[in-house]
Structures are given as structure tokens and as C-alpha cells.
Amino acid sequence: MAFATGTRESYQQELAAIRQAGLFKEERYIRSPQGADIEVEFPAGAPAKKVINLCANNYLGLSSHPDVVEAARRGLDARGYGLSSVRFICGTQDIHRQLEGKLTEFLGTEDTLLFPSCMDANAGVFEAVLTDQDVMIADRLVHASIVDGMRLCKAATDTYKHSDMKHLEQKLQEHQDKQRRLIITDGVFSMDGDLARLDEIVALAEKYDAMVFVDESHASGFIGRTGRGTHEHCGVLGKIDIVTTTLGKALGGASGGCVSGRRELVELCRQRARPYLFSNTVAPVIVSGAIKVLELISGTTERRDKLEWNTKYWREGLTRIGLDIKAGESPIVPVMLYNAKLAQDVARDLFAEGIYVVGFFFPVVAKGQARIRTQLSAAHDQGHLDRGLAAFAKVGEKYGILGLGKNEIIAKYGA
Amino acid sequence: MNEPRRIEIDLTGTSAFRDDDLEVLRTTLQTIVTLSLECRDEPCEYSRQMHREGWDVHWGLTWIARARRGGVTEEATGATRSEVLLRLQQLTSLHEVDGCP
């Protein structure tokens, strides 16, 4: 027997250790389409409970939009369920190139290549375009998928302190002996919701002959005046060499991602990126839905504008209640609790009040930075937000944290 | 018959070794032993085989440093200890946090 008793026991011990550390992730079963209102079965076996969803990446509320669902259905009828192939054998349909063209136009780049996910795009892009003569200089808070991609690449690795442009400049100076330099950052950072200083990063890249990579997963569709992303917000459209982003958040929320940018770099990914070469093509049903999403958000900024209004209303509401939030302008709004148990307790009580949020703590965020990450959606209306604020006020009062700042919360609960 | 090879290391006057001194001594001796005893036919055959398969093979002694935290391991190699620790520090600095999905 390959999976001998001792082997099984060793894995059971590992799982027990994860539980003991309070890091065990449990799935909650949702019995409805994704949206502002969802039905959640939690714990498993419990009757489904109607709650307001404040933790989805459904920023534009398009995950279950009837036009997107209808387009996906038409795509299913017209192009089938699957292609049983990678892209370069017999897995590329006309609609794949159509979607890549629309993404190129939307992101303001030269070309685009679809991947099964943005995780895959980030895993494959660095190895495809860099060699051991080059260097990658990354913000220290980039997404885990970027870290994995960098580990797969033979280029030298270096980092700069989060959003510290002086430190980045110092690193660029240190690496002038390398053949190529690639600055790597998220557009919007997923934990704090803060934006990269892309205008300054691009200026440094021009000064020190470096390329710029930006992961726009938490930005595409809604950051910037017309939702093009952080590069639009910072006034550097067309100046980013590599953009990766996802179709799994604002852009329909299904799955799929892409590398978009300079024509030559995208072509190199088509030739070399292993997740592209060895993974199945993105399913036609998702491609069809994503094309519709881009049509919807290219024609009007209505959803993006509503999300902006919701974000402002929510941020102001939480501040008025007296909760400690991370300042910023993105629809990622972390409510800071600093203590891991407190974050879990508050999330549990909010669920009882009909608000679905999740507590995050180390190692997802830094030690002593436990929080509840709330995320706004254009699918929320003011009623949802008011009910959410009322629940946060009630639970916040129960724990005596309203009006308290960081030091006071830590003094009360520890970090 | 060849004269037996001998290595002498003068330790007089070094009453208090620091950890760094011991590390240098250990590494020096290990290097000498490796090059003297282990670099015989087998490694050369491995190298020839890889060459036949199209690999351009270079080898050399190097420093290696590993860091482990929970389930994450980072590893760096380099010509000097300071270089390898710098590289390792650069790799681990990518793991300040896991980050949110």
C-alpha cells in the first residue's frame, strides 16, 4: 500500500498543526449566484442564511449580470463547452483573439495573451522574458503569485520597501550592471487597498533604463477615470511594459487572466510561458462572457462611478461610526482590529447579523495587523451599505472598539 | 611512490576561536577533502553524459544558505558567504506576508 499508515498519520499531524495554529481554511457553501445578497450555508449542514456579501472581488457587480450570463450562454451554444487542447495545438478560437484584442484596447497596450488565470500569468511571465543576466526588483508587498513567478525565474531577485521610491532608486542604481531591469509592483495592493505610485515608478524606470511590470488584478475595470486601471489613474497609460490582470474579479469574476503589454514581450510569453504552453485554453463560455463584460464597461462608466460612490459612502460611514480603517480610495476597505482573535470574533458576529466578511491575520497580513477586509461592489445599493454599517456599529459597540485607535485597541486586546 | 601530501594548519596563538573562524576552518578542510577524494571518475562521467545530452556544464564549490519559515523555504547560492546571505535576504523579503487573494 503506497499510502501507508505512517504516511497518513504524518499528513494528519500536519493538518492538526494547521488547525492548532488557527490557520485552517474552511469553505462556506454559497447556494446562490454571486451578488450583493447571497445565501450561505455555514457551518456545513446549517440552513442557508441570507447575508450581504462584503468580501467578494465582484467590484463591478458583473459576476451574475444578466447580459454577461446571456452572452456566456450564447458562447456555449456557438463554440461549445471545452476545446480539449492547449492554445497552440487546436485550442484557439476566433473569440480568443477577439477577447485579446479587446483587452489590448481596454488596457491601452500593444498586445495581450490569455492565461487560465492571473496566477498562471504571473507564474509564467518572468521566466519567459528574463534571463540570468537580468534582475527583478519587486515591491515587498506584491501578490503571492508574483513571488511564485519570480522563484521560477533565473534572473536575480531584489526587493524595495513597500512604495518607497528612494529605496527603489537605490536598488536601480545598484543593478545598473545587469542586462535588463524589471520593476515589479501590484497596481492596487490586495491587503491595504493602497495604490502603487506608478507615475514615480515610470519616471525612475525611464531614468535608469528599466521595464515596469504591474499586476492590475485589483484595479482593472474600476480604477482610473474610465476604469482602465492604476496606470490610467497615475497618468501613465501606454508606459507600462507588462500588465497582468484577471478576469476573475471585476471583469466578470469567472476565471482567466492575461499578460498584456509590449508586443515582443507578449510574443515571448506565447512562445515560452509554461502555464500558457501546458494548460488548457480558457473555455469558450468564459471568453464569451468576458467579451460582453468589456463591451459593457467600455460603453459607460456608470458601474465604475457607482462603485466609487459606494466606496466613499462606506469609508465615510465606517469612520463616522468610529472604526479604524486604512485610509485610501480603493474599494478595498480594511477595518483594522490588530488582534487575530478579535478579527475572527467580529467576523463571526457580523455573520450572525447578516453581514458576510472574513477576518485576515498573520501570515496573510503582517503580525499585529489583523483586520476585516471589506470590499465594495457596484451591486451594492445604499440599503446594503446602511445595513452593513448598522451591523458594524452594533458589533463594534459590543467589543468596545468604537472610537478607539490602533494603540487603544492593542492595549485592550493585544496584537 | 609519491610523497604523502600533508596539510598543516598552525593554530598556535589562537586560543579563542570565534564561530566565524571555526566556519572558515571547517569549510577549508571540507573543500580540501572534497577536491582530494571525491573528484574522481564518477563526477566526470556525469559531466560527460550531460555534455552528450547538450548541456554546457560548469561546476564549482559554492556557499549555500537556506531559510525556512512555516511551509516556505528559500535558498540561495553564491561565491561568498556575505553574497549568499544577501541573496537569501532578498528572497525572504518577498515573504513579509502571504497577502490576500
Which residues in chain A have Cβ-Cβ distances shorter than 8 Å to B90?
Answer: 157-159
> pLDDT, tens digit, for every residue of B13-43?
666 777 777 787 888 888 888 777 765 666 6
The CA distance from B2 to A410, in Å, is 74
Q: What is the pLDDT of residues A13-47, one digit of tens each?
A: 999 998 998 888 889 999 999 999 999 999 999 99
C-alpha separations of A215 from A37, A45, A69, A118, A125 in Å:
29, 38, 27, 9, 11
Cβ separation B93–A190 shorter than 8 A: no
Strand (E) or helix (H) holding A374: strand A370-375
Residue A390 burial (CB < 10 Å; 0-12/13-18/19+)?
Answer: middle
Report DSSP state, residue A261.
Answer: E
**What does the alpha-carbon distance between residue A275 and residue A165 come to, in Å, rounded to a whole number?**
32
Instruction: Report pLDDT for B14.
Output: 63
Nearest to A21 by CA among B69, B22, B81: B69
B4 vs A: CB within 8 A:
no
**Mean of pLDDT values over A159-174:** 97
Contact yes or no for B100 and A191 at CB 8 A: yes
Which residue out of A249, A292, A326, A380 is catalytically annotated? A249
- Three-state secondary-structure class, residue A355: strand
Q: With contacts defined as CB-CB under 8 Å, which chain B residues touch A150?
A: 94
Taking Cα atoms as reference points, which of A159, A172, A178 lies closest to residue A202? A172
Count CB neighbours of B86 within 10 A.
15
CA distance A260 to A254: 19
User: The complex's ipTM?
Assistant: 0.77
Q: B16: number of CA atoms within 13 Å, CB side?
A: 0
> Across the interface, do A157 and B98 touch by the CB < 8 Å criterion?
no
Task: Please indicate whether, in this complex, the C-beta atoms of B97 and A157 are within 8 angstroms of each other.
Answer: no
Per the residue annotation, which of A143, A175, A178, A218 is the catalytic one? A218
Is residue A139 within 8 A of residue A198, CB to CB? The reply is no
Q: What mean pLDDT do residues A53-77 have?
A: 98
The mean pLDDT of chain A is 96
In this structure, the number of other CB atoms found within 10 A of the CB of residue A67 comes to: 13
Note if A162 is an active site residue: no
Interface of B with A in 37-66 (CB under 8 A): none
Q: Is the pLDDT of residue A49 over 70?
A: yes
Q: Please tell me which of the candidates A159, A190, A365 has its beta carbon nearest to residue B90.
A: A159
Higher model confidence: residue B95 or residue B36?
Answer: B95
> Which is higher by pLDDT, A163 or B34?
A163
Rounded distance between C-alpha atoms, residue A402 and residue A395, angstroms: 9
pLDDT in tens, A282-332: 999 999 999 999 999 999 999 999 999 999 999 999 999 999 999 999 999
Grid cell at residue A337: 482590529
Residue type, B13: G
Neighbours of B37 (CB within 10 A): 8
User: Which of A135, A140, A162 should we substitute to test contact with B (largest number of B Cβ atoms within 10 Å)?
Assistant: A140
- Quick check: A363 and B97 CB within 8 A? yes
| Distance between A225 CA and the closest CA of chain B, angstroms | 25
Which of A157, A360, A366 lies closest to B91 in CB terms?
Answer: A157
Q: Which residues sit opposite A185 in a β-bridge?
A: A214
Cell numbers found for residue A355: 453581514
**Is A190 one of the catalytic residues?**
yes
Tell me which long-range contacts B27-35 makes (C-beta under 8 A, separation of at least 24). B31/B61, B32/B7, B34/B61, B35/B61
The distance between the two most distant Cα atoms of chain A, rounded to a whole number of Å, is 62
Which residues in A lie closer than 8 A to residue B91 (C-beta atoms)? Answer: 151, 157
Give the mean model confidence (pLDDT) for residues A179-208: 97
Looking at residue A400, its pLDDT comes to 98
Chain A residues with a Cβ under 8 Å from any Cβ in chain B? 138, 140-144, 147, 150-151, 156-159, 190-191, 360, 362-366, 373
Minimal Cα distance from A151: which residue of B?
B91
What does the DSSP 8-state code read for residue A188?
Answer: B
CA distance B33 to B13: 25
Residue with the bigger pLDDT between B57 and A103: it is: A103
Q: Calculate helix-pair angle for A340-352, A406-413, nearest 10 degrees.
A: 90
Min Cα–Cα distance to chain B from A109, Å: 25
> Mind listing the pLDDT tens digit for each residue in B55-87?
999 888 888 999 998 778 999 999 888 999 999
What does the pLDDT read at residue B39?
59
Q: From CA A188, how far away is CA A166, in angstroms rounded?
A: 20
- pLDDT for the residue numbered B31: 83
Give mean pLDDT, residues A73-98.
98
Residue A69's pLDDT band, with cuts at 50, 70 and 90, is very high
Please name the residue of chain A whose CA is at the shortest distance from the CA of residue B99: A364
Q: In sequence order, what E strands does A272-368 have?
A: 332-338, 355-356, 359-360
Predicted local confidence at residue A269, as pLDDT: 98
**DSSP classification of residue A219:** T
Which chain B residues are within 8 Å of A157, Cβ to Cβ? 87, 90-91, 94
Binned at pLDDT 50, 70 and 90, residue B1 comes out as low
Best CA proximity match to A196, nearest among A247, A150, A145, A204: A204
- State the Cα–Cα distance between residues A391 and A354, nearest whole angstrom: 8
Q: Which amino acid is at A242?
A: I
pLDDT score, position B60:
81
**Is A279 one of the annotated active-site residues of the chain?**
no
The three cell numbers locating residue A224 = 482610473
Q: Residue A203 pLDDT more than 80?
A: yes
Q: What pLDDT score does B59 carry?
A: 81
Query: What is the structure's pLDDT at B33?
Result: 80
Q: Is B69 helix (H, G, I), strand (E, B) or coil?
A: strand
Compare CB distances from A140 to B94, B98, B100 and report the shortest one's residue: B94
Residue A119, judged by CB atoms within 10 A of its CB (0-12, 13-18, 19+), counts as buried
Nearest-Cα distance to chain B for A380, in Å, is 21
Which H or E element spans position B65? strand B63-69
- Which sign, positive or negative, has the C-alpha torsion B27, B33, B39, B41? negative
Instruction: Kindly provide the b/e burial profile for residues B13-28, where b requires at least 16 CB atoms within 10 angstroms of the residue's own CB.
Output: eeeeeeeeeeeeeeee
- Of A63, A145, A190, A217, the active-site residue reads A190
pLDDT for the residue numbered A173: 98
